[in-house]
Amino acid sequence: MFLRRHLRVTLLSTRHISSLANSPHRAVVYSSTGNPSQVLSARALPPLPPPSPTHLNLRVLLSPINPADINVIEGVYPSKPSIRPDLGNVFIAGNEGLAEVVDVGDSVNSVVPGDWVVMSKPQAGTWASQLSVGEGDVIKVPQGLSEVQAATMSVNPPTALCMLRDFASLSPGDYIVQNGANSAVGQAVIQISAALSLKTINLVRDRPDISELKSKLSSLGATHVLTYDELAEKSTKTRVKEWTSGRSIKLGLNCVGGRDTTLMTGLLGHDAHLVSYGAMSKSPLSLPTSYFIFKNLTSHGFWMSRWYDSHSKSDREQLLAELADMMIAGKLHAPEHEIVTLRGSDEQVSEQVREAIGKGSAGRHGKKVLLRFAEE
Amino acid sequence: MFLRRHLRVTLLSTRHISSLANSPHRAVVYSSTGNPSQVLSARALPPLPPPSPTHLNLRVLLSPINPADINVIEGVYPSKPSIRPDLGNVFIAGNEGLAEVVDVGDSVNSVVPGDWVVMSKPQAGTWASQLSVGEGDVIKVPQGLSEVQAATMSVNPPTALCMLRDFASLSPGDYIVQNGANSAVGQAVIQISAALSLKTINLVRDRPDISELKSKLSSLGATHVLTYDELAEKSTKTRVKEWTSGRSIKLGLNCVGGRDTTLMTGLLGHDAHLVSYGAMSKSPLSLPTSYFIFKNLTSHGFWMSRWYDSHSKSDREQLLAELADMMIAGKLHAPEHEIVTLRGSDEQVSEQVREAIGKGSAGRHGKKVLLRFAEE
């Protein structure tokens, strides 16, 4: 990685413009939504034409598989990729990704060839070796990050940071509570909270290796970790009061829903905010109305795609710069991950993608799987 | 009423200070929370002493029975009256009420004897013939209102106005949707919306006289009235889209909870606000997490007591002045009501109060019952 990064700097400093012309262009596409193992296939595509004045041609370096990507392919997600009539009416899969700028249109001035960028436009079609995007659809990646850090920095870590910052007014020493604490966002919440001197109560499902998981989350900076069974114990409210010295908890983060979330919300104090960003239990969010009326609870949702859509380019860059600073300072680590290199015939790559998705789904709470198209 | 009001003006203009010394002082009290028919009793109390420098002595003119009053007496409401050690450790019942200022402390300058006031302090103990309160605990009633209008103006109408104004940014012609539309607040929402040129979709329970109820709410200014059964029909979403010409509904008001509220919330557009102020179904508020994440729904609670507590005296006066203007303009009517006059022995008055509460509970969607202590 350091070698590659060094190379990038060298390329940049000599204004060498690398070319995509000799690289194969391949993408993971689908023509109708459905079960990914049935609808996805890898396909060789014609080379990208030179970019229009406002566009960039990118070489994709790494493409994470996120759980929402599967929902998009299944057709059960509200945001969809644009259909590509130029490629025979297919969709290109993939939302998140790290890419290197290879060629820029005449009026582009915010990036130069050699820069690393991530996508702020949702569903840009990152499961491809090359991409053409508008200048406004990317965010330049700050210097000093590894490929994996950069490739996984535009969805989960900023979700965590925005949720910690945009809803409740918190001061160092304040507690927050979250469920699904071992999810990718949950782990980012733990680390960013610690970096901001916030304390966290983290809820996870019980499992055979629970003490191992608790140790892992503690080592990331979790103040307390409880299972949902422990949350349901009568003594928990008292324990939490002792932990917080009676100070009220003003922020709860939810990616689960259902009864466990009702219990978690009961830990919040007056004037608190519950922010939901997922619904892993597939149960609705069910809360006593009295929490809203008498405790002045406010319940919000957070969706990173909407945040990008409603914020300026400089806001986006500022957000990633803050996260990069935490990464460089060693306070925010890349997720545990596995890189799957795609190579061979279209059929072989299709099969490799299906396998990778299987790993990604099974590993919802485990390793992040990232795709890399081999340069052959 | 007009005679009495005329008299008030006369008294005021001559700076005549009426006295409570010769009036009996009686209150509805309880020493422990529980079933109102078992714990409440009327009791003769000693005359009020002259007010301290910051206090007022009031003659109570009318005291509404609101559903929440019963919950307070039952001990299931979060706000409680102060215990009265001076009266043998009892609570005086009653939250809302209209009173006439009779005597003021030396440093009081915002009201003079003869002024009408309503309570901004919750649980002031209005089910009494006389009251001693702090200058900051009352709001002066604007001129020109009837006793019933004034007595019922400090809880339900401002709840309606604040919910319409404090959460979503609405423009004339915009639609809102509410359930429990025949409640006291619901009827105020209909009238105030009409006064503000907002359109309303109103949900009510089906009943034998449904067409009569629909006519009644329409005559108050309701744009559309649907039963919950009609709400559940598949065609309703399409009908609502026709009504709103596809414009998104940004505000939902909820006093019901449960499944019907989930359906109602489905009518809201992106970036909408759901404001809950009651839970008549006693079922929790259960909403798909996707509404929060992808439609950016925000769910709030509203409680008038908190509003008063968190706003200045001039904000409170301004709020009532706006409502008074609507009342005087004939746009906001006093609720249908029945005045119960309390007279006789303590035992007789106790019985009259119990009967009145029975009427009040039965008439949750019917007539508002108000207590008046007879001057004997």
What is the pLDDT confidence band of residue B359, given thresholds at 50, 70 and 90?
confident
The least confident of A15-29, A61-75, A134-148, A157-171 is A15-29
Six-digit token string for A310: 């409603």
Kindly report the nearest CA distance between residue B81 and chain A, in angstroms: 16
pLDDT at A184: 93
Quote the CA–CA distance of A286 and A258 in Å, as a whole number: 6
pLDDT given at position B18: 57
CB-based contact A292 B299, cutoff 8 Å:
yes
* A262, A289, A300: residue with CB nearest B298: A300
Chain B residue with CA closest to A259: the answer is B286
Contact check, Cβ <8 Å, B254/A289: yes
CA angle A216, A220, A223 (to 5 degrees): 95
Minimal CA separation from B146 to chain A, in Å: 30
Q: Which CATH architecture has domain B2-152+334-373?
A: Alpha-Beta Complex (3.90)
**Are A276 and B287 an interchain contact pair (Cβ–Cβ within 8 Å)?**
no
List residues in chain B touching A: CB distance below 8 A: 78, 254, 257, 262, 276-279, 284-303, 306
Strand partners, B368: B337
Instruction: Give a three-class secondary structure readout of chain B.
Output: CHHHHHHHHHHHHCCCCCCCCCCCCEEEEECCCCCHHHHCEEEECCCCCCCCCCEEEEEEEEEEECHHHHHHHHCCCCCCCCCEHHHCCEEECCCCCEEEEEEECCCCCCCCCCCEEEECCCCCCCCECEEEEEHHHEEECCCCCCHHHHHCCCCHHHHHHHHHHHCCCCCCCCEEEECCCCCHHHHHHHHHHHHCCCEEEEEECCCCCHHHHHHHHHHHCCCEEEEHHHHHCCCHHHHHHHHCCCCCCCEEEECCCHHHHHHHHCCCCCCCEEEECCCCCCCCEEECHHHHHCCCCEEEECCHHHHHHHCCHHHHHHHHHHHHHHHHCCCCCCCCEEEEEECCCHHHHHHHHHHHHHHHHHCCCCCEEEEEECCC
Query: From edge to edge, which strands make up the β-sheet containing B91-92?
Result: B41-44, B26-30, B91-92
Mean pLDDT over A335-349 rounds to 95
Nearest residue of chain B to residue A293 (CA atoms): B301
Q: What confidence category does residue B358 fall into, taking pLDDT thresholds of 50, 70 and 90?
A: confident
Interface test with A, best of B299, B303, B305, B309 (most A CBs within 10 A): B299
| The domain made up of A156-305 is a member of CATH 3.40.50.1820 | no
Are B112 and B155 spatial neighbours (Cβ–Cβ below 8 Å)? no
How sure is the predictor about B65, in pLDDT bands with cuts at 50, 70 and 90?
A: very high
Please tell me the least confidently modeled range out of A71-85, B2-16, B303-317. B2-16
pLDDT digits 0-9 by tens, B208-260: 999 999 999 999 999 999 999 999 999 999 999 999 998 999 999 999 999 99
Angle CA A178–A179–A181, to nearest 5: 85
**For residue range A219-257, what is the model confidence (pLDDT) as tens digits?**
999 999 999 999 999 999 999 999 999 899 999 999 999
Token readout for B85 is 């050690």
Which residues on B lie below 8 Å from A287 (Cβ)?
Answer: 284-286
Mutate to test the interface with B, among A289, A306, A311 (most CBs of B within 10 A): A289
**Mutate: best of A293, A300, A307, partner B, most B CBs <10 A:** A293
pLDDT of B350: 96
Chain A positions in Cβ-Cβ contact with residue B123 (cut-off 8 Å):
none
**For range B144-168, the mean pLDDT:** 97
Residue B207 has pLDDT above 90, yes or no: yes
Q: What are phi and psi of A196, to 5 degrees?
A: -95, 10
Contact B292 A306 (CB under 8 A): no
> Taking CA atoms, what residue in B is nearest to A284?
B288
What ipTM is given for this predicted complex?
Answer: 0.92
A285/B289 CB distance under 8 A = yes
Tell me the domain boundaries of chain B: 2-152+334-373, 156-305
Euclidean distance between CA atoms B323 and B349, whole angstroms: 33
Chain B residue numbers with beta carbons less than 8 Å from the beta carbon of A78 are: 290, 294
Segment A97-126 shows an average pLDDT of: 97
Q: Which of A276, A279, A294 sits opposite B303 (nearest CB)?
A: A294
User: Where does the pLDDT of residue A117 fall: very low under 50, low under 70, confident under 90, or very high at 90 and above?
Assistant: very high
pLDDT of residue B103: 97
How many CB atoms sit inside 10 A of residue B101's CB? 25
Q: Are A353 and A342 in contact (CB under 8 A)?
A: yes
Q: What mean pLDDT, rounded, does chain B reach?
A: 92
End-to-end CA distance of chain A: 19
pLDDT at B50 over 70: yes
Quick check: B292 and A300 in contact, CB under 8 A? yes
Residues of A in contact with B159 (CB under 8 A): none
Query: Is B292 close to A285, i.e. CB distance below 8 A?
Result: yes
Checking if the pLDDT of A32 tops 80, the result is yes
B243: its two tokens = 């009504």
Residue B99, pLDDT above cutoff 70: yes
- Report CB contact under 8 Å: B279, A293: yes
Between A360 and A140, the higher pLDDT residue? A140
What is the arithmetic mean of pLDDT over B104-133? 96
Four-point Cα dihedral B258, B259, B263, B269, nearest 10: 40
The answer to whether B77 is a known catalytic residue is yes
Structure tokens at A118: 């991530």
State the Cα–Cα distance between residues B130 and B60, nearest whole angstrom.
Answer: 5
Question: H/E/C letters for each residue in chain A?
Answer: CHHHHHHHHHHHHCCCCCCCCCCCCEEEEECCCCCHHHHCEEEECCCCCCCCCCEEEEEEEEEECCHHHHHHHHCCCCCCCCCEHHHCCEEECCCCCEEEEEEECCCCCCCCCCCEEEECCCCCCCCECEEEEEHHHEEECCCCCCHHHHHCCCCHHHHHHHHHHHCCCCCCCCEEEECCCCCHHHHHHHHHHHHCCCEEEEEECCCCCHHHHHHHHHHHCCCEEEEHHHHHCCCHHHHHHHHCCCCCCCEEEECCCHHHHHHHHCCCCCCCEEEECCCCCCCCEEECHHHHHCCCCEEEECCHHHHHHHCCHHHHHHHHHHHHHHHHCCCCCCCCEEEEEECCCHHHHHHHHHHHHHHHHHCCCCCEEEEEECCC
Q: Which residue in the block uniquely carries the two structure tokens 């392919």? A: A73
Give mean pLDDT, residues A25-51: 95
- Do the chains contact at B289 and A257, CB–CB below 8 Å? yes
B-chain residues within 8 Å CB-CB of A300?
A: 292, 298
Contact state of A285 with B284 under an 8 Å Cβ cutoff: no
pLDDT above 70: percentage of residues in chain B: 92
The minimal CB distance from B299 to the residues A277, A299, A306 is found for A299
What's the rounded Cα separation, in Å, for the pair A147 and A327?
A: 12
Q: Which of A277, A296, A306 sits opposite B301 (nearest CB)?
A: A296
Catalytic residue among B77, B228, B277, B291: B77
- pLDDT tens per residue across span A135-169: 999 999 999 999 999 999 999 999 999 999 999 99
Chain A interface residues (partner B, CB cutoff 8 A) = 78, 254, 257, 262, 276-279, 284-303, 306
Asked whether the CA dihedral A87, A93, A94, A97 is positive or negative, the reply is: negative
A204 to chain B, closest Cα gap in Å: 19
